[in-house]
Amino acid sequence: MPSAFRRKTKIAEDTTITAVERSQDSTTTTSSTTNTQSSSSILSFSSFATLSGVKPWQGGLYLTSTGLQDWDVLLGGGQPLGTALLLQQDRFTTDLAESLLKYWCAEAISQNQRLVIVPIIVDSSSNGDDDDDDDDDDDFFVDGSQDRKHNETEQAVLSLLQTLPRNLHWDKWKMKHRQEQQKKNQQEQQQQSDSDNGITTMQDQQLSQPSMMMDIVEEENFEDEVEDEEYDDEFQPPQHVSDEGLQVAWQYKTSVQQQRLAIHTDNPSTSATRHHDVYCHSYDLSGRMIEQQWEDNNEKQEESKAYFLHPSTFIAATISINSSSNDNVYSDRNSRGMKLFQKLVQVVKDKINDDFDNGNNSTKAIRLVLYHPPMEELAVALPLFLAYTRKEGSWPIVVMIYGTKPTNELEAWMRLARNCDIVMSTEGFASRREYPPPSEFRHLQGILNITKTTKKLNQVTAWI
């Protein structure tokens, strides 16, 4: 009889039981430490639904919008928390990929999320002798004004922030708020002028009349309201009548149709908070978010404008990786990848601690942008960073990797793309001069290549 089909003896069972008991005794001390670590986590996984711009999804996933509705549809509703998106730009035309990056960053600001842009530069001036000295680890963050590469990278990130698209929802809400304020001021002025001229309003007349006359006026007003309601019912059925009997064809309900057509009632309690409940905002690439000012007070306008202009709000310190010329290339690459992983974790921790220092009990969702990172080091650091952020589900973070596909680091690019959850690349038609696109594509600017997406993952978790 094969050994795979033999039954275990009683002695073996006893030894396994004692081994399990010993392992349980040995893990009692470690379980207490893990419980304290899990209790001291920054944010529980179940509280992600309370974050701004985050919605729950099937299978225990939580999604956040990319800033473009069509892009969300391609991803199955949005980008799940704890995932990394690799966006490759064209070598000749960077406008398409940069526009997608602007949408992604603008949505973070619109949703009041924490946007962190981390420029990463490989410093070729040093020879990698910094590993022997512990004091040189503090120089991992290098000032960008001392080097031309740092200066160019900072200028590129600053121009990216200054050219973020204009939020149309903010303009719509501000215009509506201004109209309501003007209407309220006009009513107050009208009441003040009527009282000065000695003209009594309907409310003053009702208060001055006897109780019997009050009853007559109320009955007449009630009959007028009933007649108006009957007149309106002939042309527009009420909400409860139109929704009766539509249990299967629920998409034909009046409430659903009004929601699709963006028709809403003028309820002041809901209109004041509706701009905060938008999952995906609308933007205008020809406009600038930096020009928007939401407050009516001039001092608050200057504060909000300075908030958008100040680079320290969104741009982290530039990470400089010292390239070395050691014989063992793999060990040097792994050591630099570990340094990059440690500094990325430190950047995220600092941003989370800033939220708690400012008095926020719950942290915000974090959008981390790795701007033109080195592929060799990031291919080592990214899987460690994603595993660290997904541990116990304590960090609500999404990662965007933006760069150009290198020609001399194809192996590192393939390993990086394998570790990412979403891989996309843009190709503009302007670079195709020898082989132009067909005439059917004359109104299009380029192609978005989708190598890997999370839509299939979202669909699978929906069926579980």
Domain extent for 227: 170-276
Sheet containing 62-64: order of strands:
54-56, 62-64, 79-80
**Domain C-terminal end among 276, 294, 314:** 276
For residue 231, what pLDDT band results from cuts at 50, 70 and 90?
A: very low
Domains contained in the chain, number: 2
- pLDDT at 283 (0 to 100): 93
Q: Contact, 239 vs 250, CB < 8 A?
A: no
Angle subtended by helix axes 148-162 and 95-110, to nearest 10: 70
The reply to whether 334 falls in a domain is yes
Distance between alpha carbon 253 and the CA centroid of its chain, in Å? Answer: 31
C-alpha dihedral sign at 209, 211, 213, 218: positive
CATH code: domain of residue 404: 3.40.50.300
Average pLDDT, the chain: 70
Mean pLDDT of 18-24: 43
Q: Contact, 66 vs 79, CB < 8 A?
A: yes
What share of the chain in percent tops pLDDT 70?
A: 56
- pLDDT at 191 (0 to 100): 82
User: Does 70 lie in the same domain as 149?
Assistant: yes
Distance between alpha carbon 127 and the CA centroid of its chain, in Å? Answer: 39
User: Does 175 lie in the same domain as 88?
Assistant: no
Flag whether pLDDT at 106 surpasses 80.
yes
Distance (Å, rounded) from C-alpha 119 to C-alpha 371? 5
User: Does 97 lie in the same domain as 132?
Assistant: yes
Distance (Å, rounded) from C-alpha 275 to C-alpha 287? 19
User: Does 185 lie in the same domain as 153?
Assistant: no
The reply to whether 294 falls in a domain is no
Of the listed ranges 9-18, 185-194, 308-317, 346-355, the least confidently predicted one is 9-18
Tens of pLDDT, residue by residue over 371-415, are: 988 888 999 999 999 999 887 567 889 999 998 887 778 888 999
User: Does 180 lie in the same domain as 154?
Assistant: no
Q: Is the pTM above the cut of 0.85? A: no
C-alpha dihedral sign at 446, 451, 457, 463: positive
Q: Contact, 126 vs 324, CB < 8 A?
A: yes
Tens of pLDDT, residue by residue over 257-313, are: 666 554 544 444 444 444 457 899 999 999 888 887 554 444 444 444 444 556 667
- pLDDT at 230 (0 to 100): 45
Distance (Å, rounded) from C-alpha 47 to C-alpha 60? 12
Distance between alpha carbon 64 and the CA centroid of its chain, in Å? Answer: 5
User: Does 455 lie in the same domain as 309?
Assistant: yes
Distance (Å, rounded) from C-alpha 162 to C-alpha 433? 32
- pLDDT at 144 (0 to 100): 43
- pLDDT at 333 (0 to 100): 82
Total residue count of the chain as it appears in this document: 464
For residue 10, what pLDDT band results from cuts at 50, 70 and 90?
A: very low
The reply to whether 354 falls in a domain is yes
Distance between alpha carbon 211 and the CA centroid of its chain, in Å? Answer: 60
Burial profile 162-178: b = 16 or more Cβ within 10 angstroms, e = fewer: eebbbbebbeebbeeee
User: Does 123 lie in the same domain as 60?
Assistant: yes
Q: Could you write out the DSSP letters of every residue in 371-405?
A: ES--HHHHHHHHHHHHHHHHGGG---EEEEEEEE-
Q: Which residue has the higher pLDDT, 121 or 346?
A: 346
Distance (Å, rounded) from C-alpha 449 to C-alpha 219? 69
Flag whether pLDDT at 423 surpasses 60.
yes
The reply to whether 440 falls in a domain is yes
